[in-house]
A and B are shown apart, each in its own frame.
Chain A
Amino acid sequence: MGYAFSSGYGILLLAFGVLPTLYAIFLAFTKNGAFVGFDNFVKVFGDYRFFPAVQHVAVYLVVWLVSLTLLVVLLALIVHGVRSRWLSTSVRFLYYIPGALAGASSVMLWLFVLDPTVSPVSGILRAMGLESFVQTVSIDNLPVIFTVIAFWTGAGGWIVIMYGALNNISADVMEAARIDGAGAVKTAWYIQIPMLRKWISYMGVMSLAAGTQLFVEPRVLSQASKGVVPPDYSLNQLAYLFAFRQGDFNGSAAISLILLVVAVGLAAIFVFRGGLFDRE
């Protein structure tokens, strides 16, 4: 009976989870259907755009993960400490609502915010010496810009999750800490943060995996800035260019496979070692 109930999902899992992976593996190791070993990978690694793209993504990941972790934990702790229920709910909602603008819409909105001529914060941009959109999106600023956009869109969701996890810490433990004279900072450091550890690592792994896939932000910014943001900034963009500009599906599959292996690896480590999912 279990088979009947899960068959629809099973078919989709095969068609859009397992098969594309297998097919990407096949393409990555062949050329015109003939096995070529690691040739496609060698070619991709040798491409002059490959290592700059790796570097871009790596720098972005460092900036993004550090700021995400610090700020989300800090904000969750603060919001959790707010006594007034009404205030706490409203603040969480305000943090969360930009999540409605994921994808191209959020980048589009940030195009405006980053353009000193129309930006609501043009004063801040000018104070930083940025007079035009092209200056703002110069390549050295991009890791920070992508971090700000990603944080704006996604941090609220994580704050809500961390808040939920903080709520699950038993009231007895918190009361004991208070009676022992621990202030808010000590309680956070010695009790709340250690108890959030699983969730923090969950957020870290998920964001790391998602960050390696960077695509829509540089893609839209590249379109908007007429190439000031290069069209091959991230690895996924490069894989896209291989498939769509050069018609080289094998090279594209090789890059996708590298990204996929990273993602699956992180996911698998987390499922088997992270402890968040062990029910059985």
Chain B
Amino acid sequence: MTANSPALASAVADRTGFAPGRWLGRAVAFVVAGFFVVFFALPMLWLLFAPTKTARQLLLDNPFSVGTFQTLADNWAQLTQFQNGIIWTWLGNSVLYSGVALVITLVVTIPAGYALALTDFKLRRTLLITTLIVMLIPNTALVLPIFLELSAVKLIGSPLAVILPFSFFPFGVYLTYIYFSTSISRDLLNAARIDGSGELRVFAQIAMPLATPVIALVGFFNLVGNWNNYFLPFVMVPGRKSPVQVGLAELLSNVPLFNPTSAGSVTIDLPVLALATLVSVAPVLIIFLFSQRFLVTGMTAGGTKE
């Protein structure tokens, strides 16, 4: 390579920063990335401020002005008084459904991923392939078939009709399978077996302590997905048994702006609806904030083979 080759020139330019074209490129990239930061962040920011304003302020003031704490308290009171505090019932239902489902998911998913990764049995390959396929089916695709099935066995309206489908989490099994097959060798387990440990002991004392990261990951995806699920609980547990996501849509029909026919009955102001939206996602939002680091450090969601 000679001194005046374009390659070297541009390498030098890169180091010295003397390249107008490249700077223009950077500027464009910066603007695009910046535009999308605004696009993603702006609605969230608006949502944080909206509940501190009155309905009138929401309409007339600058969208990003901050109201008063007193107004926030009033909106909160209006939300919690709506139908005698049904928001608490909805939140309680959400906690019950996603909480119990989380426990069941972990109890069945982790051993299953372990078995697929580190033991041999006849149906192993069948189970693995079925898991992969079901994992890639969007969960909404199975909602109506599951509804039809559960209504045939008269389970509609029972908490089980939500909890059990929530606990079926093939993606978690796949994550666990990937984790165990890459992080633990069969030799290690065999060594423990030769030392006289039973299978349960091998699992509980060798595999489980190493599995903490994947347990957290499976728990995270399961909880977030279930908390935000709308379609499944919407068809399975209507009315007072709804979780908060379904309840939120219910609140909507009491907002006069969106539904003129409800004028006269108990109504919900827009800032109250915004507050309800915020409350409904608060738990997930908090989990997101705390898991910030592992969420963005290039987690490849289980697909890679490294």
Contact = CB atoms under 8 A, between A and B. Distances in A.
Interface in A84-124: 89, 91-105, 108-113, 115, 117-122
B254 to A, nearest CB: 11
Given A104-B245, A223-B253, A256-B145, A94 B277 contact: no
Contacts of A93: 292, 295-296
Main secondary structure of the interface of A (DSSP, over half): helix
Interface in B27-69: 29, 32-33, 36-37, 39-47, 50, 58-59, 63-64
A16 B107 contact: no
B298 interface: yes
B188 interface: no
A20 B164 contact: no
A5 interface: yes
A206 B165 contact: no
B11 A179 contact: yes
Interface in B147-181: 147-149, 151-152, 164-165, 167-168, 170, 173, 181
A109 B277 contact: yes
A207 to B, nearest CB: 9
Given A5-B115, A118-B58, A184-B25, A102 B228 contact: yes
B93 interface: no
Contacts of A99: 288
A120 B42 contact: yes
A224 interface: yes
B255 to A, nearest CB: 8
Contacts of B136: 205-206, 209, 263, 266-267, 270-271
Interface string A190-209: 00000000010010011001
B59 A118 contact: yes
B32 A23 contact: no
Given A8-B112, A236-B231, A267-B133, 13 more contacts: A5-B119, A6-B127, A21-B145, A101-B44, A103-B230, A112-B274, A120-B43, A209-B138, A212-B138, A244-B235, A256-B141, A257-B145, A264-B133
Interface in A71-86: 71, 74-75, 78-79, 81-82
B270 interface: yes
Given A104-B249, A181-B11, A253 B145 contact: yes
30 contacts: A8-B111, A10-B127, A16-B142, A16-B165, A17-B142, A75-B32, A82-B33, A89-B296, A93-B292, A93-B295, A101-B44, A108-B277, A109-B43, A111-B252, A121-B63, A168-B306, A178-B11, A181-B7, A181-B10, A183-B10, A183-B21, A184-B25, A215-B230, A224-B252, A240-B144, A253-B148, A267-B135, A270-B136, A271-B136, A279-B305
A71 B11 CA distance: 29
A196 B274 CA distance: 39
Contact of A105 (B33, B245, B301): B245
The 10 A-B pairs with the shortest beta carbon distances in the complex, nearest first, are A2-B121, A181-B7, A8-B108, A164-B298, A267-B136, A9-B112, A5-B115, A20-B145, A2-B119, A120-B63
B22 interface: yes
Interface string B86-121: 000000000000000000000111011011100111
Interface of B: 5-8, 10-11, 14, 21-22, 25, 29, 32-33, 36-37, 39-47, 50, 58-59, 63-64, 107-109, 111-112, 114-116, 119-121, 123-125, 127, 129-138, 140-142, 144-149, 151-152, 164-165, 167-168, 170, 173, 181, 199, 203, 224-225, 228-231, 235, 245-246, 248-249, 252-253, 257-261, 270, 273-274, 277, 280-281, 284-285, 287-288, 292, 295-301, 303-306
